[in-house]
Amino acid sequence: MKQKKVLALLLAAAMTVGILNGCSKRPEGSNTTDSKTEESGETKDDSEAAESTGVTLEFQHNMTGVITDAIEDACKDFTKETGIGVEVSAPGTYGEMIKARMASNDMPDVFSTHGWSTSLYVEYLEPINDQPFADKIVDSIRDMLTDADGNLYVLPADADLSGMTFNKTVLEDAGVKVEELKTWDDFTEACKKVKDSGKTPIHVGGKDSWTIGTMLDLIAPTFLTNNEETSEAEALLDGSFDWNKWEPISEMVKDWYESGYFNVDCLTADYITSCKALAQDEAAFTFYTGKAVAEAQQTNPEADLGIMPIPAADENSEPCLIGGEDLAVGVWKDSPHKDEAMQLLNYLARPEVCSKLATACGMPAGLTDVESETGILKPYYEKYMSEGVYTIPYFDRVYLPSGLYDVMCTTGTSILAGEKNAVKDSIADMKQAYEEKLAQH
């Protein structure tokens, strides 16, 4: 579709720099940093720290893995410089938690928006149009971060680019070439070869249910919206979508499960376990972003890993990449410490700080004056940029009402649990939730 073809430039602008050059109630288990306790890789003298202002910000985000350390380190350094404390936490049930906070109008001073800054969270966010970093947001994601009134609400530390991550060593040993995987039939045949070689074709960390939801979220557009002639985009948006057309998506995942293409512990392993399996040459594919590669390299820096486009439903369509918000954070408009919270955003936007965050995410930077060390993924990003690979927004963020992603997680889990009638139930559950959500609006 035209609106999505514009996003084919997602990577180009981001890579120009990235490659070429509250005193609200605090959650348990949060990490508090202040001028007396912070460390950031080295022992620091209390005398070097700014005097405490008596203000402590609450910062909640949805990130996992190595990026969480980078966020905490940045906040500790911010506290040392400003005397403003920061309590950082990453609840495992972030979506549920943040919705409960929205219902009580008691939001964290600073929070991540994971793709919903101009929709779900917009009424809770302070515009950042007048902040110094606003003009530096890369063009490739600027439109996705701008609402109908021209307002921006978040600092994007990176420019998300998602496809599928893979282990080149495992694939080569199985006789599979990534560049030949154009359709899901090609991919399924590759999975058979990998399984026959004794390795796991697809690794899923289903203990973290979002990994299953993400898999379905990446598969769905290839069946439903990527082919202009057969696109269901309009029907999804106006509420007339025939949910029987969800069956091929669920059926394909069920076939992979029954063929033994998933890891046997797909419902008990977590995201980090998936990354480790990728790093240790135990698995061929994951439905994760470049963050998984950055995380995997913590286990094995020598692992030969890459990122690939998502295969097409058939030969009449083309493989795609998906882009949007990743590590994007905003300020609660009713925060009692709004000025201090905005100070934190501007600190995170500093080139030397933002660079560390984007690098930890394994993705191109979200600001034009920031360089991201994409490392082993650099040649893949350059390749897809030069080829102009078809790039689209995340499926659920455009075509599904808020809350449907959670239903994808649960229905997908049922399929990977081998439950009877899981495919049929997935269609019914998605249809019911979709209609209920639309009715609420």
The answer as to whether 1 is a domain residue is: no
Asked if 85 and 32 touch (Cβ cutoff 8 Å), the reply is: yes
Whether 25 has a pLDDT exceeding 90, the answer reads: no
Q: Same domain for 87 and 53?
A: yes
350-361 tens-digit pLDDT: 999 999 999 988
Only one residue has tokens 């680019």, namely: 161
Model confidence at 441, in pLDDT bands (50, 70, 90)? Answer: low
Amino acid symbol at 17: V
Instruction: Provide φ and ψ at 391, rounded to 5°.
Output: -125, 130
Query: Where residue 153 sits, what CATH number does that domain have?
Result: 3.40.190.10
Q: What are the tens digits of pLDDT across the range 60-94?
A: 998 988 889 999 999 999 999 999 999 999 987 88
For residue 32, the model assigns a pLDDT of: 43
Backbone angles phi, psi at 31, to 5 degrees: -100, 115
Looking at 332, 350, 381, the residue that finishes a domain is 381
Paired strand residues for 162: 289, 322
**Same structural domain for residues 137 and 176?**
no
Tens digit of each residue's pLDDT (9 = 90 or more) over 188-235: 999 999 999 999 999 999 999 999 999 999 999 999 999 999 999 999
pLDDT at 332: 98
- Using CA atoms, how far apart are residues 242 and 246, in angstroms rounded to an integer? 8
Q: Are residues 400 and 364 in the same domain?
A: no
Q: What is the pLDDT of residue 2?
A: 38
Residue 3 located in a structural domain: no
Which residues partner with 56 through β-bridges?
Answer: 85
Structural domain total, the chain: 2
Question: What is the spatial distance between Cα 38 and Cα 180, in angstroms, rounded to a whole number?
Answer: 50
Q: Is 6 part of any domain?
A: no
CA-based torsion, 318, 218, 400, 89: positive or negative = negative
CA distance 374 to 384: 14
| Three-class secondary structure of residue 231 per DSSP | coil
Q: Is 328's pLDDT higher than 80?
A: yes
Domain end (from 381, 406, 430)? 381
Q: In what order do the strands lie in the sheet with 155-156?
A: 31-33, 85-89, 56-60, 110-112, 328-331, 155-156
Q: pLDDT-based confidence at 39, cuts 50/70/90?
A: very low
Q: What is the mean pLDDT of residues 136-157?
A: 90
Does the residue 104 lie in any domain? yes
Per-residue confidence (pLDDT) for residue 6, from 0 to 100: 39
State whether 152 and 187 are in the same domain. Answer: no
Most confident of 19-28, 139-148, 230-239, 385-394: 230-239
Per-residue pLDDT at 270 exceeds 70: yes
* pTM confidence score: 0.75
What is the predicted pLDDT for the residue at 106? 95
Quickly state the pLDDT bin for 18 (edges 50, 70, 90). Answer: very low
User: Given pLDDT bands bounded at 50, 70 and 90, which one contains residue 121?
Assistant: very high
Please tell me the predicted confidence (pLDDT) of residue 47: 55
Shared domain check, 80 and 65: yes
User: Which pLDDT band, with edges at 50, 70 and 90, does 165 fall under?
Assistant: very high
How would you classify the pairing of strands 110-112 and 328-331?
A: antiparallel
The alpha carbon of residue 413 and the mean position of all alpha carbons in its chain are separated, in whole angstroms, by 19
Where a domain ends, among 381, 405, 428? 381
pLDDT bracket for residue 391 (50, 70, 90): confident
- Categorize the per-residue pLDDT at 261 as very low, low, confident or very high, splitting at 50, 70 and 90: very high
- What percent of the chain is predicted at pLDDT more than 90? 70
Average pLDDT, the chain: 88
Structural domain of 89: 12-160+324-381
| Claim to verify: residue 317 and residue 333 sit in the same structural domain | no
- Rounded mean pLDDT of 238-254? 97
Ranges 10-19, 290-299, 312-321: which has the least confidence: 10-19
Give CA–CA dist 6/12, Å, rounded. 12
